[in-house]
């Protein structure tokens, strides 16, 4: 199932990051549309969480490589 390694965790983290970013954009857009500061903040938190997941995946993948 997993390309690199025995566990499917990297794939789940990638999908989780992408889903969090998409969900964050949708929540942020609805918060902007209806003027809700809470939804805007929640959407930005989801976007940041998704970006953190994806950046950590890239950093972990490139940890053993030297440029």
Alpha carbons 52 and 57: distance in angstroms, whole number: 8
Question: What is the full DSSP assignment across 25-58?
Answer: HHHHHHHHHHT-HHHHHHHHHHHHHHHHHHHHHH
Q: Where are the domains of the chain?
A: 9-61
pLDDT of residue 51: 95
Q: How confident is the model at residue 7 (pLDDT cuts 50, 70, 90)?
A: low
Q: Residue 1 pLDDT more than 70? A: no
Q: Collapsing DSSP states into helix, strand and coil, what is residue 65?
A: coil
pLDDT of residue 28: 96
Give the mean pLDDT of the chain.
Answer: 85
pLDDT of residue 2: 46
Q: Residue 66 pLDDT more than 80? A: no
- Reported as type and span, the H/E element at residue 60 is helix 37-61
């Amino acid at each position: 199932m997993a390309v690199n390694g025995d566990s499917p965790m990297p794939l789940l983290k990638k999908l989780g990051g992408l889903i969090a970013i998409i969900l964050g954009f949708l929540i942020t857009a609805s918060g902007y549309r209806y003027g809700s500061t809470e939804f805007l903040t929640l959407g930005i938190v989801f976007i940041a969480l998704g970006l953190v997941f994806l950046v950590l995946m890239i950093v972990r993948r490139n940890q053993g490589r030297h440029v």
